[in-house]
Structure 1
Amino acid sequence: MEVFFSDMTPLTLALCLMVALVAGVIKGMVGFAMPMVMVSGLSSIVGAEWALAGLILPTVLTNLWQALRQGRAAAWASVKRFRVFLLCGFVTLVASAQLVRVLPANVLLLMIGVPVVIFALIQLFGVKLRLREDGHHVVEAGIGGFAGFIGGMSGIWGPPTVMYLTAINTPKRDQMRIQGVIYGLGAVALLGAHVGSGVMRAQTLPFSVALLVPALAGTWLGFQVQDRIDQAAFRKATLVVLMVAGLNLIRRGLTG
């Protein structure tokens, strides 16, 4: 441990493990927000590169677990059902990754945060924004493309995905599984990209491995809560987390 984390004090490492635990609990409860929580928390403790490296393996494995909780057949059915969303998101993610240096980061964060907060507030105040579950592939393609577009530049594709699944009134168990599938495929792509970029390397890999234990433990705790709450409570918890995430994105966009 001293060899791998020679630049970290025991307190620093303990704080990082606590961030991973909290992120895991939130992830298990509502199915998303782990990258945002971990990036926000870890980057205030360690460098941005270490924060990014640290979240990669916990994000991959918790999403895999989430996607497969109802079995491989159910996960594959989600892939087929949301193939338009996934395909459009992948295409725009690859394309927008080339635009990272063109669009200012604060503008991008505001582009994500403002509509997310508006959507969450409208829903929390009882205004029902609904889409039919079927027959709207154009809308699905548009939202999937937007999620991929912002994901390619920022690594954050969760809020638009959650907005869409909430708008089509996805049942709780299905929404958790679908989010796991969508985010899991994105997380695998993120892992591959950052093995190539050098962010995930021999020095940072043990740090990401160390964060796996609290992240997985937190996710298990969150799953226990999520399994015991009804659809209405799950929806409200999802919207609250979505609003907090959106406000944090706006804060980052305004403060630079």
Structure 2
Amino acid sequence: MTLGEPLLLAAVAATFFAAGLVKGVTGMGLPTVAMGVLGALLSPLAAASLLVVPSAVTNIWQLLAGPSFGALIRRLWPMMLGVTIGTLAGLSLLTGGDTRTATAALGGALVAYALYTLVAKPFTVPARAETWASPLVGLTTGAVTGGTGVFVIPAVPYLQSLGLAKDDLVQALGLSFTVSTFALAAGLAWRGAYEVGNFALSALAVVPALIGMWAGQQLRDRVSPATFKRWFLIFLLLLGAEMLSRVMR
């Protein structure tokens, strides 16, 4: 993969603009959209490598914009530790060279997340259960991140179940996604799977991602976020199903 491939550059720019747009409207979705679309065009490993820099920049922005950084760190550090350990342990699937299995895992993760979010009812985790639930959710999220490059399962439903205020929830999601991104980057580098060319292209992808985020924030006041999110999830469901059907042929 080189920077001199115009079609690749156009596809990466369009993907990260769309992913940033989704994040701007809904507050999340950039890594999921980027992995889903790029994973349909490239190997999941290559897609994960391209994801790192735009995801880090946009999620650090989201993390630092909230009001409760210190309190969230103190509350959620067991989950973040679990995310880190799980990601490093789960990377063997993504970096193992079995593109077919990695693509199937990515497609399955997209389908599972979309179906769950579309049909599941909200639930609440009592405070007394966080002691054991947070590290377990972190380890599971990390394993999924390491195997597929997707950060959202089961971290997003879990964080939504904690009864956080709106701004705190957005910041908690930013914290989880930031830790996942850096754990993924560290794991790829540790396994020698992070190519210099991919890093350069990933850095360039920050620009369309930020433009997309800005556009999404402007669009947020003009569309129903719930309706937008519903169609976004339907898109992910169809994309994941196509990946699964591709590896089953």
Question: Is TM > 0.5 for Structure 1 vs Structure 2?
Answer: yes
Q: Which of the pair has more CA radius of gyration?
A: 1
Give the corresponding residue for 1:156. 150
Instruction: Classify the secondary structure of the residue corresponding to 2:128.
Output: coil
* 1:215 Cα offset (Å): 0.8
* 1:239 Cα offset (Å): 5.6
Q: C-alpha deviations, 1:175-223, integer Å up to 9, x for none?
A: 2211111111111122223334444443333212221111112122323
Cα contact 1:84–1:141 (8 A) shared by 2: yes
Structure 1 residues 152 and 25: CA distance shift in structure 2, 3 A: same
Give the corresponding residue for 1:63. 59
Cα contact 1:60–1:184 (8 A) shared by 2: yes
Cα contact 2:44–2:149 (8 A) shared by 1: no
Cα contact 2:118–2:233 (8 A) shared by 1: no
Write out aligned runs for 1:29-48 (5 A). 29-43=25-39
Give the corresponding residue for 1:131. 124
Identity among equivalent positions (%) equals 22
Q: C-alpha deviations, 1:95-125, integer Å up to 9, x for none?
A: 33346659944664466355434422324xx
Give the corresponding residue for 1:217. 211
What is the CA–CA distance in structure 1 between the aligned matches of 2:210 and 2:226, rounded to whole Å? 23
Q: C-alpha deviations, 1:54-112, integer Å up to 9, x for none?
A: 222111101110111125xx223222222232223333333333466599446644663
What is the CA–CA distance in structure 2 between the aligned matches of 1:214 and 1:39, rounded to whole Å? 16
Structure 1 residues 151 and 204: CA distance shift in structure 2, 3 A: closer
What is the CA–CA distance in structure 1 between the aligned matches of 2:103 and 2:44, rounded to whole Å? 16
Instruction: Classify the secondary structure of the residue corresponding to 1:203.
Output: helix
Structure 1 residues 162 and 234: CA distance shift in structure 2, 3 A: farther
What is the CA–CA distance in structure 1 between the aligned matches of 2:226 and 2:72, rounded to whole Å? 20
Structure 1 residues 245 and 162: CA distance shift in structure 2, 3 A: farther
Instruction: Classify the secondary structure of the residue corresponding to 2:154.
Output: helix
Cα contact 1:131–1:167 (8 A) shared by 2: yes
Cα contact 1:96–1:153 (8 A) shared by 2: yes
The residue identity in structure 2 corresponding to 1:35 is: P
Kindly tell me the number of residue pairs found equivalent between the two proteins.
242
Give the corresponding residue for 1:245. 236
Instruction: Classify the secondary structure of the residue corresponding to 1:164.
Output: helix
What is the CA–CA distance in structure 1 between the aligned matches of 2:73 and 2:184, rounded to whole Å? 18
* 1:51 Cα offset (Å): 3.6
TM-score, normalisation: structure 2: 0.78
Q: 2:140 aligns with which of 131, 137, 146?
A: 146
Structure 1 residues 44 and 167: CA distance shift in structure 2, 3 A: same
What is the CA–CA distance in structure 2 between the aligned matches of 1:99 and 1:183, rounded to whole Å? 20
What is the CA–CA distance in structure 2 between the aligned matches of 1:37 and 1:201, rounded to whole Å? 22
Q: C-alpha deviations, 1:40-64, integer Å up to 9, x for none?
A: 3345556666543322211110111
What is the CA–CA distance in structure 1 between the aligned matches of 2:226 and 2:136, rounded to whole Å? 23
Cα contact 1:59–1:187 (8 A) shared by 2: yes
Instruction: Classify the secondary structure of the residue corresponding to 1:32.
Output: coil
Structure 1 residues 16 and 158: CA distance shift in structure 2, 3 A: same
* 1:170 Cα offset (Å): 4.0
Structure 1 unaligned regions, length at least 5: none
* 1:132 Cα offset (Å): 3.8
Instruction: Classify the secondary structure of the residue corresponding to 2:122.
Output: coil
Structure 2 unaligned regions, length at least 5: none
What is the CA–CA distance in structure 1 between the aligned matches of 2:153 and 2:205, rounded to whole Å? 24
The residue identity in structure 2 corresponding to 1:17 is: A
What is the CA–CA distance in structure 2 between the aligned matches of 1:108 and 1:40, rounded to whole Å? 11
* 1:26 Cα offset (Å): 0.8
Q: Once structures 1 and 2 are overlaid, which stretch shifts more, 182-191 or 165-174?
A: 165-174
TM-score, normalisation: structure 1: 0.76
Aligned Cα RMSD in Å?
A: 3.3
